């Protein structure tokens, strides 16, 4: 069994960590697990106000960086790492470069569990899909002794990889508050597609941490024009958002089977 457990979330934008993995970061951080976050971009194109008021890539990136730093402090993240790609351009990044950056941090920090987006990412955001692809490739490369021979870092194999697997109940709750979850990509509208219950391998009870997660989410004020209204939502609605997080176990070297886990570190404790 492992003495000091480590969790690493590898995501695309500021706010992904709070909205998507805030519950597990808060829960496992409180349990003494070392938690780390890699964020690929600084959210530079995430302006949701009037176009004339858009502060531009650099200024918005600085604002969203500060929001993320505040959120990670609330969630107890031990180290925040930026890959410094531009929001919206991640799928066009040089694969070898992006993979190499992730490998460097995986080998340095040696996490036991990694969490990232799934290959379809609910509503098909290209940046989310790209970071999933880069992460998967990086975990293979990190364990390969022949990868990057010029680098003296020691190869390292992550024990478990999970995809975020948004359940229908969560998507329904989001859409009831925020409206339809869609994205227009190259002229085609992509809509949110939840995971089937039978495909979810792991359900984590994060209800005791929902207030902490909401505080982290609320740090991302630039992305929440209805923050005051959300503050007034009943506890039962907040619990639908932040009280349970579901995942798909993409691979594991320690356990498997169809029994639903209640712990990302099952088999490692």
Q: What is the pLDDT of residues 93-143, one digit of tens each?
A: 999 999 999 999 999 999 999 999 999 877 889 999 999 999 999 999 999
Confidence of residue 1 (pLDDT cuts 50, 70, 90): low
Predicted pLDDT of residue 261: 96
Domain ranges of the chain: 6-252
Predicted pLDDT of residue 226: 80
Bridge partners for 114 per DSSP: 8, 161
pLDDT digits (tens, 9 = 90+) for 174-193: 787 777 778 888 888 888 88
pLDDT digits (tens, 9 = 90+) for 3-60: 799 999 999 999 999 999 999 999 999 999 999 999 999 999 988 777 877 888 999 9
Contact 34, 78 (CB under 8 A): yes
Residues 6+ apart with CB under 8 A from 240: 169, 170, 173
Torsion over CA of 126, 249, 69 and 106, rounded to 10 degrees?
-90
Task: Report the mean per-residue pLDDT for the chain.
Answer: 92
pLDDT digits (tens, 9 = 90+) for 69-96: 999 999 999 999 999 999 999 999 999 9
CATH topology of domain 6-252: Rossmann fold (3.40.50)
How many CA atoms does the CB half-sphere of 163 hold within 13 Å? 24
User: Rounded to two decimals, what is the model's pTM?
Assistant: 0.95
Query: Distance between CA atoms of 32 and 17, rounded to whole angstroms?
Result: 19
């Amino acid at each position: 069994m492992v003495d000091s457990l480590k969790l690493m979330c590898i995501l695309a934008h500021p706010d992904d960590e709070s909205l998507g993995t805030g519950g597990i970061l808060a829960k496992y951080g409180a349990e003494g697990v070392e938690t780390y976050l890699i964020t690929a971009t600084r959210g530079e194109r995430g302006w949701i106000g009037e176009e004339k008021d858009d502060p531009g890539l650099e200024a918005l990136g600085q604002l969203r960086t500060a929001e993320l730093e505040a959120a990670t402090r609330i969630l107890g993240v031990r180290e925040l790492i930026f890959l410094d790609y531009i929001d919206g351009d991640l799928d066009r990044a040089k694969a070898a470069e992006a993979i190499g950056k992730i490998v460097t941090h995986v080998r340095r920090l040696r996490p036991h569990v990694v969490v990232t987006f799934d290959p379809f990412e609910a509503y098909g955001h290209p940046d989310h899909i790209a970071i999933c692809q880069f992460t998967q490739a990086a975990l293979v490369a990190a364990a390969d002794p022949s990868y990057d021979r010029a680098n003296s870092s020691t190869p390292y194999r992550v024990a478990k990889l999970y995809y975020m697997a948004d359940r229908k109940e969560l998507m329904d709750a989001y859409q009831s508050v925020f409206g339809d979850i869609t994205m227009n990509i190259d002229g085609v509208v992509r809509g949110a597609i939840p995971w089937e219950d039978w495909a979810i391998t792991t359900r984590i009870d994060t209800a005791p941490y929902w207030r902490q997660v909401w505080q982290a989410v609320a740090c991302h004020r630039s992305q929440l024009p209805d923050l005051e209204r959300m503050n007034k939502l009943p506890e039962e609605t907040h619990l639908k958002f932040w009280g349970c997080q579901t995942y798909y176990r993409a691979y594991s070297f320690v356990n498997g089977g169809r029994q639903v886990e209640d712990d990302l570190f099952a088999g490692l404790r």
